[in-house]
Amino acid sequence: MSLQVSPVPRLALPSRPKRRWRRREVIWAALLILPSLVGFIAFYAIPAVRGVFISFTDWDLLTQAKWIGLENYQRLLKDPEFRNALKVTFYYVLLNIPLQTVLATVIAVMMARLSTSVLIRAVLILPWLMPSVVVGLLWLWLMDPNIGIINVTLRSLGLSTIPFLNVPALAMPSIALINIWQYVGYTALLLFAGLQSIPGSVYEAASIDGASETQMFWKVTLPLLRPVMVFVVVTSVIGSFQVFDTIAITTKGGPVNATKVLNWYIYEQAFSRFNMGYATAISMVLFLMLIVISAIQMRLLRAGESDL
């Protein structure tokens, strides 16, 4: 996906003058791109094209696939579980993205303007360095209603138990919190890199004009951060539409389908209900949705332009 989103590399080398590339450089560039290109073709392009074909078939993995045309897509339109999965997924994105982006921006600004400690920066991205499975298990134990430390603490303070992951109303917010905890540091780091590329002279000019710290944030920092912000928001929206691992570890789509997001539903249809063709059709719809949503976002946020 990062192939489509170019603002970050451009920003990272903002002052590079345009010139003819030397042959040597072209060879090196091609060589360096090659490994990831091979991976892209083998693990994304070929399966995606194959997926289009599979989505028109009735295939249970073990017996011969049968061509059924658009039947899977017609079934989608009438499937209440698919509608629930769509609803639940959008709900998750709405819970996840605004809070995560705001928190990450605040942390990034604090890192840039208040603290230069390498230690703090390292600590911030620690949760992101942990494998998702470990994060899921960690929070599963922390949030356990009987023996989890959060609830033990709540009870010792005379409060009642909060069944975070075990009631429909709380399950999705709890998952969103876990994932924000995991990714906010990484998102902040990206924004922080964007902040570094804003020239100090702009701030000097603003302070000579008598701007306060708050005004500078709204009038200088945010507008100039926009291209990086677009990258961050677009990639995290794509990522959160594809939420899976935390749910697979903690709730497995439950309770009462409250966390049965699109990706979990796809997994369930494919690998426990043996409906590979139908699962692939849902994947195709998710794919198209993500393309449209990303295009709209990039258009609205004018991703290709920079105010610098």
Residue 239 as a binder of another protein (CB under 8 A): the answer is no
Task: Report which of 86, 74, 76, 72 is spatially closest to residue 257, judged by C-alpha positions.
Answer: 86
Task: Kindly tell me which of 125 and 140 has the beta carbon lying closer to another protein.
Answer: 140
Q: Would the CA dihedral through 206, 193, 246, 261 be positive or negative?
A: positive
Selected binder of another protein within 1, 6, 12, 43 (CB under 8 A): 43
Q: Which two tokens stand for residue 249?
A: 């570890």
Q: Does position 156 bind another protein by CB under 8 A?
A: no
Pick one of 1, 34, 45, 122: the residue that binds another protein (CB under 8 A): 34
**Alpha-carbon span 192 to 182, nearest angstrom:** 17
Nearer Cβ to another protein (38/70): 38
Kindly report the backbone phi and psi dihedral angles of residue 287, in degrees, each rounded to the nearest multiple of 5, phi listed first: -60, -50
Q: Give the list of residues 6+ apart from residue 1 with CB closer than 8 angstroms, or none.
A: 235, 238
Closer CB to another protein, residue 38 or residue 291?
A: 38
Query: Rounded distance, CA 161 to CA 155, Å?
Result: 6
Q: Does 138 bind another protein (CB under 8 A)?
A: no
Opening angle at CA 170, ends 85 and 88, nearest 5? 10
Taking CB under 8 A as the binding criterion, the range among 102-110, 140-148, 218-226, 281-289 that sits at the site for another protein is 140-148
157 lies in the binding site for another protein (CB under 8 A): no
163 binds another protein (CB under 8 A): yes
Report the b/e string of 95-115 with b at 16+ CB within 10 A.
bbbeebbebbbebbbebbeee
Q: Which of 1, 12, 256, 288 binds another protein (CB under 8 A)?
A: 256
Counting contacts by CB under 8 A, is residue 44 touching another protein?
no
Which CA distances in Å does 254 have to 15, 175, 282? 51, 12, 20
Task: Tell me how far, at minimum, the Cβ of 20 lies from another protein, in Å.
Answer: 21
Distance between CA 308 and CA 306 in Å, rounded? Answer: 5
User: Nearest distance from residue 21's CB to another protein, in Å?
Assistant: 17
Closest CB 28 distance from another protein, rounded Å: 8
d(CA 305, CA 4): 15
Should residue 87 be labelled a site residue for another protein when binding is judged by CB under 8 A?
no
Task: Kindly write out the interface string for residues 164-203 of this chain, putting x where it contacts another protein by CB under 8 A and - elsewhere.
Answer: -xxxx-----------------------------------
Residue ranges binding another protein (CB under 8 A): 31, 34-35, 38-39, 42-43, 46, 50, 60-64, 140, 144-148, 160-161, 163, 165-168, 250-252, 254-257, 268, 271-274
